[in-house]
Amino acid sequence: MSADDGGFITVWDIEDGKLMSKFGNSHGPKNKITAGCFDSTQRRLITAGSDGTCKMWNFSNGQCLTELFSSENPKRIDTEITELVCVFDPDDAETQLKMSYIISVGWDKKIHVWADEKEEEVTSTKILPQGGQEGHKDDIMSAVYCLKNTMIYTGGHDGSIIAWNFETGYSKYKLHDNDKSCTTKDYIKDGRSVDQLLIMDVRDKLLSMSADQYLRFWSLNELTGGK
């Protein structure tokens, strides 16, 4: 599966590399696709457009199944989305069939969470940060969910990395406080953007990849208790 700046979604056969299907204008004219992920069953594709729209597709025939809206805006998130994450337990088949969640992050510095209710239109169930908390001060560029401790980790354009409790919606700690080289005053010039986050389940570590060309390995066991 691939998606591009022209708004085209293309399905490829990984066995021989042949084109299977292709459909375009997925997020309206002149809107590029900025992020995408598969749902818990691997049968539906979720994509985000540069205009802040989120849609769920039957990627086999190009049918739009669901549109995801923000509870703050009845039409769209209204800012570019940089990452989409599907939250589910891969070892619990019953949970996959009943309920999963979709998370988006982007230029509005917020985390939007939707329950996968399999309806034509779905409104976000929560938006983080909550309760007047301080979250990211700049665009959020990446996100990942850790099933073991039910935390969302988000990376900012300024090098910040924040851990969020998925159930309560509150931030728990800031990983960048443990490494002062993550952020600088002139982070745009110095290139501190956290462009990718990965969970290493085997070693209980979070891997962050930043524009400063460093890989940072964070011990989730040590961080769970605080800073």
Name the residue type at position 124.
S
Task: Give the contacts of 162 (CB within 8 A, at least 6 positions apart).
Answer: 135, 136, 153, 154, 156, 171, 173, 174, 175
Averaged pLDDT, groups of 10, the chain, 227 residues long: 85 88 83 90 88 89 90 80 90 59 94 90 90 89 93 95 92 91 78 93 88 92 55
Task: Give the contacts of 34 (CB within 8 A, at least 6 positions apart).
Answer: 48, 49, 50, 80, 81, 82, 106
User: Which pLDDT score, from 0 to 100, does residue 99 have?
Assistant: 62
3-state helix, strand, coil in the chain (%, to 5): 10, 45, 45
User: Which pLDDT score, from 0 to 100, does residue 25 have?
Assistant: 83
User: Which pLDDT score, from 0 to 100, does residue 227 have?
Assistant: 36
CA dist 61 and 52 (Å) reads 23
Instruction: Say if residues 109 and 135 touch (Cβ distance below 8 Å).
Output: yes
Instruction: Say if residues 8 and 22 touch (Cβ distance below 8 Å).
Output: yes
206 token code pair: 């979070």
- Which helix or strand (DSSP H or E) is residue 56 part of? strand 54-58
Beta pairing class for 45-49 and 101-106: unpaired
Residue with tokens 């070693």: 203
Asked whether the whole model's pTM tops 0.75, one would answer yes
Full set of structural domains in the chain with CATH: 2-223 (2.130.10.10)
